[in-house]
Structure 1
Amino acid sequence: MAWTDKNSPIVAVATAPGRGAVGIVRVSGRGLAPLAHALTGRTLVPRQASYGPLRDAQGQAIDHGLALYFPAPHSYTGEDVLELQAHGGPVVLQLLVARCLEAAEAIDAASGRPCLPGLRLAEPGEFTERAFLNDKIDLAQAEAIADLIDASTEAAARSASRSLGGAFSNEVNALRDRLIDLRMLVEATLDFPEEEIDFLEKARARERLDAVAAALDAVLVQARQGALLREGLQVVLAGQPNAGKSSLLNALAGAELAIVTPIAGTTRDKVSETIQIEGVPLKVIDTAGLRAQHEASDEVERIGMARSWEAIGQADAVLFLHDLTRVDDAVYAQADADIAARVAEAIEGRVQVVHVFNKADACAPERVVQALAMPGAPPGQAVALSARTGDGLSELRRLLLDLAGWQHNPEGVFIARQRHVQALRQAREHLALAQAHAAQSDGALDLLAEELRLAHDALGRITGAFSADDLLGEIFSRFCIGK
């Protein structure tokens, strides 16, 4: 959504719902000093914590806590900001919010006007949106704030912190600056054709364009890594009943999450758990055992299998489990082949399938080697393990990261989103077309200039230099209230 009034003052609880040792009420707007005096009964020194009563309309203390006043522009939002830090009970914080709204309309004795007319409750993300609109942060940094709050691993948190500090934005802005220089040269040549300057040769435009494209490629690699840290990978365990899917889920998670019994069909519905490997979050989904619909024992199992196929269709990677103790059984092998064909149809070549041969502890080593060479298990995409003993799990973890494209070096990676990756890819496509035009003998300067402009615009969408209102509304509406 887009905010209807970006100038009115706003107030909200800035800490998470529920009980806590400390809770914060935040106010942002212009001219907050009268409101601060009405709430505290004293004049606040900028950027200094002041302890005392936080008062109601009758002058009685709602609570005792800290008040901090940050005059514009040296604040989070770029406006005046008042923060009231009280005990973190929901009732106390709601009383303080109600008091702020009440005091805002009360007449200030010194000015004879309301303390803060028009004060209203903040929408989700509105404090951060104001920081963006007031040039305190750019759009990529604003998104990094939400990503830092939502980080599920230490690596993701560190990467989000780097983006918040401007690491990603600096890379993007450096690329934009280099494109601006190129655009200036190209468009100047278009404006003054009578000079007959061989632009492409004398300005070394091709070399400079190639250098920008190479630098963008490097940023794109880092952005893909950052997107993986943020969004993780959805891994689905698939296979016939009693192949060891639930045991593998428990082994990967290091906890007894799924019920494991020798009875085929124990798992009737999806069971999922988010784990991390080298800081990369993986959502592992255990599914009901797969077999022909007519072989299902009851309606519950049929529904469970339908949900399994749905999960497979949405997976980023599929671990297809084979029971090493049954691969010599012709009926079992045929069922595996049928399932493999349906899996290939469901994923339509979008994702990788890893063949996992389980129960290696119950087979002779030579039998394991033979199974890995079976048709349908491409080299590099098959692993033998024992979910019961843990042998082979480390190889499986490494293989999953390799399939995800993880480079095993989170240092220096900045958090990124799919929209960032998409914008970088679009910019790279336009640069490739620009390189093609630059290589032509006639120069094609007008087409070259247009592709450089489009690449420039694509990069600008990352930091918010060129952003539609509906994009801003979509981004900030996903923030929590008070942030």
Structure 2
Amino acid sequence: MKLDSSPIAAIATAPGRGGIGVVRASGKQLAPLLAALFPNATLAPRHATYIAFSAADGSVIDQGIAIYFKGSHSYTGEEVLELQGHGGPVVMQMLLARVLEAGAQMGMRIAEPGEFTRRAYLNDKLDLAQAEAVADLIDASTEAAAKSASQSLAGAFSKTINVLVEQTIGLRMLVEATLDFPEEEIDFLEKSDARGQLGVIIASLERVFQQAAQGALLREGLNVVLVGQPNVGKSSLLNALAGADVAIVTPIAGTTRDKVSETIQIEGIPLNIIDTAGIRVIDEAVDLVERIGIERTWAEVAKADVILHLLDAGAGPTRADERIAGAFPAGVPVLRVWNKIDLSGHKCGVDAMDDATHIYLSAHEHVGIDLLRGELLRIAGWEQTGESLYLARERHLIALRSAHKHLAHAGAHAAQNDQSLDLFAEELRLAQVQLSSITGAFSSDDLLGVIFGRFCIGK
């Protein structure tokens, strides 16, 4: 992404036809552009003016609303002009071409993806976490995700991080002051309650991480893979969870030959449910298509966040079921789902056992589905605490984990003796750097290029 400060312009609304379309321009000084576009009119800052949008020869391209913002009251921190016209693609392209033509002598160019928001960040209108929240709000796929992104855009996440940074800096100042005046022989760790202060910071960080980790689920969701022998009801369970017939269900074993995916929401969390081909021993009796389907099943299992191992409650566990369970990747949560209790006579319920959590349900009768939904939320770490969730990104979680590690190291040094105060201070500094990277106080140009390069053009 270019770092020059040339004035920029782009269509700010989504491609396609619409009632209204917006062309946006931003630059340090837009007076020449305004004079070229509207030679006979003066736009009052922050006032909507109904006006004709004319070509260079005076012919009218469209009529609409023009709004001019001075840098102190604009989105980017520069002067901004927005032209709101009819949202036809041809009209928008003609209007953009006219803006570029009128601003040619100023060096105006097409904006790159995310460049308007990047300028807002560079001009201190937004911090980096707020800038990322702009893209998250645009991309939000659930109401809960949109609310969390809106809160982050308003600065809720940034304020929380800034409090942690200030607390860490405050403790650093005490430590480093003690290092500067060792002759006073003050028992720093005891008299300043450094360990207590550090404990408060760590506890706060852990709460923030929990909220951020739960919020991250709103962005990415969980990949939930249905696995089991043929004809145990995987497709019926997918349909029951989705609330629609998205998979073909027949009594014929091996009906599902390739994966079927459906994204559902539970308490606002997206779950990518993947129904796979039934697994059985691959031998000469299995045709080539089914063999490929089974291979693809194991490929999906390798990428799963949660595995739902379906079993027939009437048949009970078989050696084939045991072989399937034994091949699951280590570290991936597994729910044993005993299906068809309407035929087996088992009671609906959840049984947390040493090997796994067992759920008894009937996908066909839609009995026990809410219990399964609850267990999926539990595995996701979802808690309805009433606290705000932060729509965190992976880089935020990495920074929070790293900061926690450095604070834990600081605690280890504090537990030794005053001879380790220099190491204590260094770990606090490293934790501060990690926390500050979330809001952009310490961010490389390469990181900024990656972040803003993923925005849509015009934002």
> How many Å separate the matches in 2 of 1:24 and 1:56?
17
CA displacement at 1:380 relative to structure 2? 6.1
Task: Encode CA deviations 1:338-387: one digit per residue, 9 max, x unaligned.
Answer: 111112xxx222x2110111111122237x89xx88xx974761111111
Aligned to 2:370: 394
Aligned to 2:336: 355
Aligned to 2:61: 62
> Is the partner of 1:58 in helix, strand or coil?
coil
> How many Å separate the matches in 2 of 1:323 and 1:200?
61
> How many Å separate the matches in 2 of 1:19 and 1:303?
43
> How many Å separate the matches in 1 of 2:268 and 2:146?
10
> How many Å separate the matches in 2 of 1:296 and 1:167?
60
Aligned to 1:108: none
> How many Å separate the matches in 1 of 2:28 and 2:162?
31
> Is the partner of 1:267 in helix, strand or coil?
coil
Q: How does 1:31-70 map to 2 (within 5 A)?
A: 31-41=29-39, 42-70=41-69
8 Å CA contact 2:33, 2:102 repeated in 1: yes
8 Å CA contact 1:67, 1:82 repeated in 2: yes
Task: Encode CA deviations 1:254-285: one digit per residue, 9 max, x unaligned.
Answer: 11111111111111111111111111111111
Q: Which runs of 5 or more residues in structure 1 are unaligned?
A: 106-113
> Is the partner of 1:189 in helix, strand or coil?
helix
Aligned to 1:111: none
Aligned to 1:86: 85
| Residue in structure 2 matching 1:304, options 293, 303, 307 | 293
Q: How does 1:408-423 map to 2 (within 5 A)?
A: 408-409=384-385, 411-423=387-399
Aligned to 1:342: 327
8 Å CA contact 1:278, 1:408 repeated in 2: no
> Is the partner of 1:73 in helix, strand or coil?
helix
8 Å CA contact 1:31, 1:80 repeated in 2: yes
| Residue in structure 1 matching 2:258, options 269, 282, 288 | 269
CA displacement at 1:241 relative to structure 2? 1.3
CA displacement at 1:46 relative to structure 2? 0.5
Matched, 1:23 2:21: yes
Aligned to 2:410: 434
CA displacement at 1:297 relative to structure 2? 3.4
8 Å CA contact 1:37, 1:44 repeated in 2: no
8 Å CA contact 1:144, 1:161 repeated in 2: yes
> Is the partner of 2:411 in helix, strand or coil?
helix
> Is the partner of 2:412 in helix, strand or coil?
helix
> How many Å separate the matches in 1 of 2:353 and 2:59?
75
> How many Å separate the matches in 1 of 2:285 and 2:381?
37
Over the residues paired in the alignment, what is the CA RMSD in angstroms?
1.8
| Residue in structure 2 matching 1:286, options 275, 295, 299 | 275
CA displacement at 1:286 relative to structure 2? 0.8
Q: How has the CA–CA distance of structure 1 residues 379 and 409 changed in structure 2, closer, same or farther, with 3 Å as cutoff?
A: farther
Aligned to 1:109: none
8 Å CA contact 2:334, 2:356 repeated in 1: no
> Is the partner of 2:175 in helix, strand or coil?
helix
8 Å CA contact 2:22, 2:87 repeated in 1: yes
8 Å CA contact 2:52, 2:63 repeated in 1: yes
8 Å CA contact 1:13, 1:24 repeated in 2: yes
The letter of the residue matching 1:90 is P
Aligned to 1:4: 2
> How many Å separate the matches in 2 of 1:302 and 1:362?
30
Matched, 1:230 2:206: no
> How many Å separate the matches in 2 of 1:360 and 1:255?
21
Aligned to 1:205: 194
> Is the partner of 2:20 in helix, strand or coil?
strand
> Is the partner of 1:257 in helix, strand or coil?
coil
CA displacement at 1:201 relative to structure 2? 2.4
TM-score, normalising length: structure 2? 0.96
Aligned to 2:428: 452
8 Å CA contact 1:76, 1:136 repeated in 2: yes
Aligned to 1:100: 99
The letter of the residue matching 2:49 is S
> How many Å separate the matches in 1 of 2:135 and 2:37?
30
CA displacement at 1:195 relative to structure 2? 2.9
Aligned to 2:439: 463
> How many Å separate the matches in 1 of 2:354 and 2:64?
65
> How many Å separate the matches in 1 of 2:22 and 2:287?
54
> Is the partner of 2:159 in helix, strand or coil?
helix
Task: Encode CA deviations 1:67-105: one digit per residue, 9 max, x unaligned.
Answer: 111111211111111111111111111111111111112
8 Å CA contact 1:200, 1:443 repeated in 2: no
| Residue in structure 1 matching 2:382, options 406, 431, 439 | 406
Task: Encode CA deviations 1:129-178: one digit per residue, 9 max, x unaligned.
Answer: 11111111111111111111111111111111111111111010001011
The letter of the residue matching 2:60 is A
Task: Encode CA deviations 1:403-441: one digit per residue, 9 max, x unaligned.
Answer: 111112464222111211121111111111111111213
8 Å CA contact 2:20, 2:87 repeated in 1: yes
> How many Å separate the matches in 2 of 1:284 and 1:410?
27
Aligned to 1:246: 235
CA displacement at 1:326 relative to structure 2? 3.0
CA displacement at 1:293 relative to structure 2? 2.4
> How many Å separate the matches in 2 of 1:435 and 1:454?
13
8 Å CA contact 1:69, 1:80 repeated in 2: yes
8 Å CA contact 1:355, 1:377 repeated in 2: no
Q: How has the CA–CA distance of structure 1 residues 380 and 353 changed in structure 2, closer, same or farther, with 3 Å as cutoff?
A: closer
| Residue in structure 2 matching 1:327, options 316, 322, 341 | 316
Q: Which runs of 5 or more residues in structure 2 are unaligned?
A: none
CA displacement at 1:302 relative to structure 2? 2.0
